[in-house]
Structures are given as C-alpha cells and as structure tokens.
Amino acid sequence: MTHVSGFPATLSSLLSSNWIKMRKLIHTVFLILFISASCLSQTTETAFQTPANLSEAIAQSSVIIQELLSEYPGLSIAVGIDDSVVWSKGFGFADVAEKRAMQADHQLRYYSLSKSITGMALIKFIESGSLDIEESVKRYLPDLPEHYQDIKIKHLIAHTSGIRAYNKGEWMKLSKNHCNAPAEALDVFINDPLQSKPGESYSYSSFGYVLISKVIEAISGKTYFDFLQEEFFMPNGITSLKIDQSNDILNEVTYYDRWNVDRGRAVASPAVNNSCKFGGGGFVGKASDLVKLQLLMLNNRISRQDFTNRYYKGFETNDGEPINYAFGLGDRVSESGVRYNAHTGSGRGANTAQLIYPEAKLVVVLLGNRESNIMNQKIGEIAKPFLELIK
C-alpha cells in the first residue's frame, strides 16, 4: 500500500509549486485521469447569497466529478464559501451491488484529513495557555521513554519528531486491532528508536498524531473524542463525525478495492478497524461536516484571528528551513502568490482530499469509497470555478 498515511513521503510531491496555478489550476501530482461514464446521484444544497453563476460553477465542477467516477464507485463533495456550505452532493454509488446511490449525508472514512481536526484542538489549547508547543512532549506525558525528551509538541505537529512511519504491512495489521484510547495504540512504536534528531527534518508519521491524541486527553481530562465532541462538534450541529469503530457508524458506505465502471462491477474491501488511528486518521463523517469545521476556523469561531492564522501557517526545521506543513494541513503559496492549504488521505477502501484558500474563505472536501489517488490531481480543477466566483 502506498502512502497509507494520506500524505506523500515528501511534502513537495503533493504541494509542489506547480500543483495549483491560479490561472490554470491543473493538478499534475499523481496519475492521468481516465474519462468515463457516470452514475446516479443525490444532492443537497444550502441557501447562500452569492452571484447567480453559482449554479454554473456547480455544473462545471460536476463534469469533473462525473469523470472521476471511472476510478471511484462513489464520491461525496462539499464546498464552503465564507460561512456557508454552498454545495454538497453524492455521485455514483454508496453500494454497487445494491445500486444504492451515494448521497450528501453518507459517511465515509476521512483517513489523514483527521489530522486537521486534531490541529484545531491544539490551537484551542495554545490560545487558552494550556499548551506550549515549544515544550517537550514529556511535560504532558511524563511516562514516555527518555528518548522522547527532546521531542517538542511542535515536532509532532510538523512531522519533524523523528518518530517512524508505518512499516511494510503494518497498516493492515493495525487495522485488525481495536482501541478504546490512544494509550492502547502507543506500544506499536513508542519504544522504537527515532529516525532522526527532533526538529532536523520532515518525515511524515501518523504515529506522531496518535501521540498528540494522547496529549489532548492529558490536557483536557477527557477522552480524545469526547473533548472534540463537546468543544467543537455538538455546539455547532456537527453530528456525523465519529472515530471509525467499524460497527457503530450509521449511513456508512461500502468500500472497494477494485472497480470496473464499464461492467458496473466492484470488489469490496475487507473490513478494517481504524479506531487505533485516532487523530492521525481515525475519523468517519460527511464531507460537509469537515467543511463546516474549516469554515468555523476561517471565521474565527474556534480561535481569535491571530491563532487562526497560526493554524494555517507552516512550521520550520531547527535550521529555519520551511517545512510547509501546518496544524494537520500542508501550507503552500502558488507561483501566482496565492496561499492555499491542502491534505490528502488514503487507506484500504477510501481516498480523500481537502483544499482550502484561507483568504478567499473557500473550502473543498472530496471523499471517495475506493483507494485511488487520482482525485488528488483533480481537486484543484473542482475548486477553480468556485474560486473564480470570489475574485
């Protein structure tokens, strides 16, 4: 399995300077998309005061998503502008055998898009003064092994801690386990030697975000999920987000390993349990709920403006080299000078992508029920018509 963490081994391969060009917005990160047929769909739209050509933007983006159905049995899209979800829709199939159409309220695995939610909790703690990211992680988790003493919280956030990534075959092995708390997921990696000196270089590791999930519990005095549920989800009417326990997700889709659009045949993925991934990749939910969370952040309803800015701003190495990774999101500036944040997620049976333009307050989230990174190259094209509405 490639890039199961949801982010490429080097950040530049996803967020290269030519990934988003404001005038073209054509993605060339991964493979060439195969054009094919489309399936049934259901749609939900929210009221939003915007130019009449919103419908034209939706139509243009719909064409691209329909083309993507050559790679995915089903897709769920949500777009937010300013403070509203202006479009959310399902395309294709939530279940191929049952011919059940994908709808906007279907829940799908987020995989590594979960990291951006974890980052919101950290910003909240920083603003309140209960977390200092310049401090060692052992200040908050004193029972960690001694070789964690030099790992600062900011190193965990920015993937510069030196904590290893998944070993070959380990992702699927872990996906057969069940965890009720982040502490139960630490033994897999916690005693392993660090791969590099903390703060020295970028090396993507979802394990670092599992450890952050434990830090959130230590600071809040609550379980990782309960804190997020009480602080962010419930107060804002976000009801779908849950940790993937593989047995308690309502309105979840069927996930697939293979898909032949011409024959309408698909091979379902084996069941996996992502509960041990927590803040590194454990969430399941609607595309629109992740958009809502990002809009809350962009509109300073989670933190004040200066902390909101900090959330979207990338870190640096010990030597001052930009890492271009922020609080669970990549942070880049296009060749035309436009700043954007992005992340992808992938794992057995699903692929996900989100793209954010902070200054335009535009958020796009795309979720699919098959693991294929083709969407990563196309999400910029999907966002382009909406970005042009805001110019």
pLDDT tens-place string over residues 138-151: 999 999 999 999 99
- Looking at residue 181, the DSSP 8-state letter turns out to be S
What is the C-alpha separation between 263 and 198, in angstroms, rounded? 51
Domains of the chain with CATH codes: 11-390 (3.40.710.10)
Quick one: pLDDT at residue 43?
38
pLDDT tens-place string over residues 254-293: 999 999 999 999 999 998 889 999 999 999 999 999 999 9
The better pLDDT of the pair 286, 170 is held by 286
23-27, 61-65, 234-238: segment of lowest average pLDDT? 23-27
Contact 118, 277 (CB under 8 A): no
Identify any residues that bridge with 295 across adjacent strands, giving them in sequence order. none
Measuring CA to CA, which residue among 18, 29, 41, 115 is closest to residue 375? Answer: 29
Contact 244, 274 (CB under 8 A): yes
pLDDT band at 247 (very low <50, low <70, confident <90, very high): low
Q: What single-letter amino acid sits at 218?
A: A
pLDDT tens-place string over residues 346-360: 999 999 999 999 999
Quick one: pLDDT at residue 175?
81
Average pLDDT, the chain: 87
Tokens of 301: 């309803």
Quick one: pLDDT at residue 244?
85
Tokens of 136: 């060692």
